[in-house]
Structure 1
């Protein structure tokens, strides 16, 4: 009997240590298969910190997918999956404006009029605005529609499967989303003195410890994942400012954004704007973000200089808003006087910036939208990003040209026989 137990024990040892283990939970099985199926993704993973720390495929994708027949069972990790290990970063991300990309996209009244292919996945607006934590109900709705949406936001900056911290801290990681028509922050930064010094340092033409601010240095300092700015994307704030003219001009802009109706009463859009944290709603919140930026600026500049430069940006918003309000009022008067007919998708007979370019609108509306979303953005963002050319030629000068064109068109429309 004793020999029988010895034989059983020896057999068990042989099975455990000599027979290859092919458990679905063993990430090595995933790696072995995917070396043939997706070899470059495996190479990305092999170069990652995940690989160095034995975080295998099944940690994120689950173990239900075992063969080609069960590929539909693979799990696609979301932000919460990353948060299981990176809890602090997940909580920071949840508080920042990147988390509201998806919500803000879907809050726009124009979205259902645009081609689905430009909204759902890696194309058009959806290419960047897929960012944001989605509820299970939202995910189900997207799957039911057959949308190819992005399940995770973390890999927008830490692209899979390297998930590199160094990549996410490079300003080029911001380029894909923060460029172009309505927010050319990359172009502004790249051609500013800040960006020029970064590129020179990268090429070894400046000392390794030379000051060369990146996007992340200013907007995600110390590795935080919570990104906010004082003025927000729309360049408006609440409560309204003490300067009566500026307050009136910002009110006019809020009407054109549909946050207020033509009579100045709040609309349902105000709740949507608040929900996605697009504007600072108290003086304390605005000052808090401004102080954070001053603290960052002080690493290279004096407080006096930093305060002065940011104040110039504030003043350019004020001056740009004066031009903007004059243009909006000129177009609004055409609606009020019945010279322009309200498009069927407008809530009010009033300019509506959140409907973009649509057939059935008027050319003067389109020029007005370009003035706001393209040229006003460049005017003040060019100052804040220390880019003189964008602030003047692509911003302020273009706004003055827009205003002259709108006035001329408005006069021509009024003179045109009915």
Structure 2
């Protein structure tokens, strides 16, 4: 039994004893009641000396416990050990590891794999960390001093009616996690969470500067075990029924591996360019994308801007779509009156929220708010035809029902269902455009009609492989490695249809019809269809030229028109009707000019006789 649970049980038993000693009841009843109370108290005191055990929080999904082979009666230590073991085993350089090497910046993006402490051989105490860094990196210290980590007693002193009072339970929960792991003495309280706890080891009194490490998810998870488990459960709860995506994809919990196992990313020789992708794909490696160090402010993490650094741009512009929607308008015009200290579960009742946020919608699942943000995912990062074809599958229907529940916090269920159905139908239409155009692009590629495809399309750097309109088309353009058709289609399937889908999903009208979205998809289709016509007409022209040259023989090529031999002209005339007309016109024009010149000579008295 976990310490906080034992404490509450003991207090409950004492309250029960007090209650039993009151009121007009008979002496025998009192005696038996007291005896029962003593038995309960004895049991509680005995339980206090039993090994610590706890029921895993119900916010941790069954799918995760099954994957970790744990029961819900596992201890915090057992849960943490299983999670951290799997986490470190699955965080690697990926299947393309031999094709790329980290640059110095990577040690900050994936500290588990690449961080190296400064070569500074000096012993430091936990007290010296803050005092030294006040002058070296004062911003770190200023942020930490404002954090909950530096002010645990301030949180403990909050009155029960303060919207931040829930944090007292979180502190108790953290202490129980540390008790179970043997990182905090039984019954002891945390004084604060300082530099040494995160960068040397929890509870460390001193250490060598060269042994410092940057925290990854497991370091944060040692204390915040419930949140760590919830976040890591994304890989366990996202299993696509028709295998549209790999298990756990797309989600924050596998985003680093999704990045390094992309062939285009691994093939990029310009590693500073590749680093831009990595800087967003680091939710798997650490927690400070959302909880900015060293303050780790929950207020900051609850605002839509916390998502904006990564969820913006051409292929995942959720932030812009939200901000331009009526939901975003509500946030921008009224959000300053909302109490952002209220936790997500209390945002409407205690926070005064009158509109949705990214976090309020995506952290919620069936009324519960957790760090698993993918329990309602249906379309994923991109719309695929095999998603559009399977929306009637119970897996997708259950998730749609969950979304209706989310939307029904503010809308009627009928309105929510109606909009979601319209959204699905709209996304299907965009997906159809992409698939129609894909066939055109594939046929051009198969027929080897893309510009320079037969003569000027060099191989891509390994491990990338050539394909029509592939993702690489956004990043490589050596000679005709990437053509206008490749580039246009890559933008169509990877950017424009994604932006179209996310405009629909985030209720931004301009985002899916005219400003971009459908209009951009039509532009892409028009460019590719026009190129298809031009490239095929060019191919037909080349075939006619080859046919003409083949019939004329080696000495009768089109360039031989300057050769005045009559037989060459006659052969050319009969080779192809298309060119015969032009040749006759050329010949006729020449005869006409010759006749005019002769007439002029005759008018001057020329006889036209050639001197002998």
Normalised by the length of structure 2, the TM-score is: 0.51
CA distance in 2, matches of 1:210, 1:86: 26
Counterpart of 1:366 in structure 2 is 487
Counterpart of 2:361 in structure 1 is 218
* Conserved 8 A contact 2:230-2:371: yes
Distance change >3 Å, CA 297–CA 203, structure 1 → 2: same
Larger radius of gyration: 2
CA distance in 2, matches of 1:385, 1:205: 21
Instruction: Note the C-alpha offset of 1:34.
Output: 1.3
1:101 paired residue among 255, 265, 275: 255
User: What secondary structure does 1:55 align onto?
Assistant: coil
User: What secondary structure does 1:49 align onto?
Assistant: coil
Instruction: Note the C-alpha offset of 1:285.
Output: 3.4
Distance change >3 Å, CA 383–CA 242, structure 1 → 2: closer
* Conserved 8 A contact 1:198-1:212: yes
* Conserved 8 A contact 1:336-1:349: no
Counterpart of 2:126 in structure 1 is 27
Counterpart of 1:344 in structure 2 is 459
CA distance in 1, matches of 2:386, 2:429: 18
* Conserved 8 A contact 1:231-1:237: no
* Conserved 8 A contact 2:325-2:508: yes
1:186 and 2:319 equivalent?
yes
The runs of 5 or more residues in structure 2 that have no matched partner are: 1-122, 153-191, 235-250, 340-347, 543-612
CA distance in 1, matches of 2:216, 2:394: 34
1:84 and 2:222 equivalent?
yes
1:230 paired residue among 378, 381, 390: 378
Distance change >3 Å, CA 205–CA 216, structure 1 → 2: closer
1:295 and 2:405 equivalent?
yes
Distance change >3 Å, CA 40–CA 348, structure 1 → 2: closer
Residue by residue over 1:260-297, the C-alpha shift from the partner in whole angstroms, topping out at 9 and shown as x without a partner, is: xxxxxxxxxxxxxxxxxxxxxx9343233322222110
Aligned counterparts, 1:135-150, within 5 A: none
CA distance in 2, matches of 1:58, 1:90: 20
1:110 paired residue among 241, 261, 264: 264
User: What secondary structure does 2:266 align onto?
Assistant: helix
* Structure 1 vs Structure 2 CA RMSD: 2.7
Instruction: Note the C-alpha offset of 1:185.
Output: 0.7
* Conserved 8 A contact 1:45-1:51: yes
Distance change >3 Å, CA 301–CA 195, structure 1 → 2: same
Distance change >3 Å, CA 337–CA 373, structure 1 → 2: same
2:294 paired residue among 161, 175, 188: 161
Counterpart of 1:387 in structure 2 is 508
Instruction: Note the C-alpha offset of 1:352.
Output: 2.5
Instruction: Note the C-alpha offset of 1:343.
Output: 5.9
1:200 paired residue among 308, 311, 333: 333
Instruction: Note the C-alpha offset of 1:112.
Output: 2.1
User: What secondary structure does 2:193 align onto?
Assistant: coil
Counterpart of 1:285 in structure 2 is 395
1:401 and 2:523 equivalent?
yes
* Conserved 8 A contact 1:118-1:126: no
Q: Which has the higher contact order (CA 8 A, sep 6+)?
A: 1
Aligned counterparts, 1:252-271, within 5 A: none
CA distance in 2, matches of 1:230, 1:354: 26
Normalised by the length of structure 1, the TM-score is: 0.74
Residue by residue over 1:78-102, the C-alpha shift from the partner in whole angstroms, topping out at 9 and shown as x without a partner, is: 1001111111110111123111110
CA distance in 1, matches of 2:407, 2:532: 44
* Conserved 8 A contact 1:169-1:216: yes
Counterpart of 1:46 in structure 2 is 145
CA distance in 2, matches of 1:391, 1:76: 42
* Conserved 8 A contact 2:383-2:431: no
Instruction: Note the C-alpha offset of 1:237.
Output: 6.9
1:72 and 2:189 equivalent?
no
CA distance in 1, matches of 2:401, 2:273: 38
CA distance in 1, matches of 2:522, 2:137: 53
Counterpart of 2:427 in structure 1 is 317
* Conserved 8 A contact 1:330-1:410: yes
1:171 and 2:325 equivalent?
no
* Conserved 8 A contact 1:105-1:129: yes
* Conserved 8 A contact 1:327-1:406: yes
* Conserved 8 A contact 1:182-1:373: yes
Instruction: Note the C-alpha offset of 1:188.
Output: 0.5
